[in-house]
Amino acid sequence: MKEIVFQVLAEGGSLEILRLKTDENEKFVYHHNKFGLIDSDIISNEKSEYDSFQVPFLLIHSAYPWYQLHLTIVHKDYRDYVAEELIRLLNKFDMKWDLLAYSKKKFRKYFRYIYSFWSYSSKKWFAKHYSYPSDESERI
């Protein structure tokens, strides 16, 4: 079975992680493509395979501001991990909630509890685990 477990769209390309499941194992494919802005030809189409979700996610997380782009899919199996890494990054660079204005709606959808753990008194982000909404749809 093949499914997209993480996807970010942007003008001129996309970043995604696919999960390939068989009865014996699962693999994760990091897929990154770039399109020309004028003629829409594919400029780059990269694919790499990994044994865990964390490796391709950290490649994306360290190289792209995915949290400021058009986040379209975060599979429920990886939401806690993605939220924890996002909070770690936000605190590392001292990012305020207001700087993520474009992404607020998406974060509320996938990480319903994120908004509540920006502390105005300490000016830090905190991770807490609450239950997710009953709506388990994967795509915004």
Per-residue pLDDT in tens (0 to 9) along the chain, 140 residues: 999 999 998 877 889 999 999 999 999 999 888 665 555 555 556 789 999 999 999 999 998 888 888 888 989 899 888 888 887 887 787 776 666 666 666 666 666 545 445 566 666 666 554 444 444 444 44
Inside any domain, residue 130: no
Inside any domain, residue 114: yes
Inside any domain, residue 140: no
Inside any domain, residue 138: no
Print the domain residue range for 102. Answer: 2-125
For the whole model, what pTM was predicted?
0.74
Count: domains in the chain: 1
Closest CA to 86 of 133, 132, 34, 64: 64
Q: Are 72 and 8 spatial neighbours (Cβ–Cβ below 8 Å)?
A: yes
